[in-house]
Amino acid sequence: MKICIDTTILIDILKDECKTHQEKLYAALAKKEDLIAPSVVFAELIPQFKGDTKLLHSFLRDHKIRIEPLDLDSIISAGTRWMKHLKRKTRPKCPQCGNILRVKEHFLSDFYIGGFALTKCDAILTRDRGIYRKYFPELAGYENCLGQKS
């Protein structure tokens, strides 16, 4: 099974946080799943390695994660859903003072990852399923595949 690995899971490993999500990655490794990530994940991880791309390559190799470029189908999928997000996007205001409230922002990179996962993979392994459920509802989460045989 081809599994797209989201940046959040790899940051969890690097910071030793969210053990349950780390365990899902290690379960995928034990099942010898095909672990891949789009190039945007590589870019998002560079700051975690203070720009040392050699060390980043080593980390990905140790975790058997292959980086692949975004292709046009992935970008189109991302772009159409990004457009949908931008149309829905509202800025909530405080009812008492009228100031705009800060809410979690989604970035185009989240949509690139979703588009890549949808067009190239069987499932996505991420900590942030909300955005993918909302904008990529047909994309399976790897947590739903753990009981299945490869």
25: tokens are: 């990655």
Reading the chain (150 residues) residue by residue, the pLDDT tens digits are 999 999 999 999 999 998 988 999 999 999 999 999 999 999 999 999 999 999 999 999 999 999 999 999 988 998 898 888 888 766 666 777 777 655 555 588 999 999 999 999 999 999 887 889 999 999 999 876 655 443
Give the global pTM. 0.82
Domains of the chain in sequence order:
2-144 (3.40.50.1010)
Asked if 112 contacts 78 with a C-beta cutoff of 8 angstroms, the reply is: yes
Q: Rounded to whole angstroms, how far apart are CA atoms 92 and 101?
A: 6
Asked if 65 contacts 117 with a C-beta cutoff of 8 angstroms, the reply is: no
Res 84: pLDDT: 87
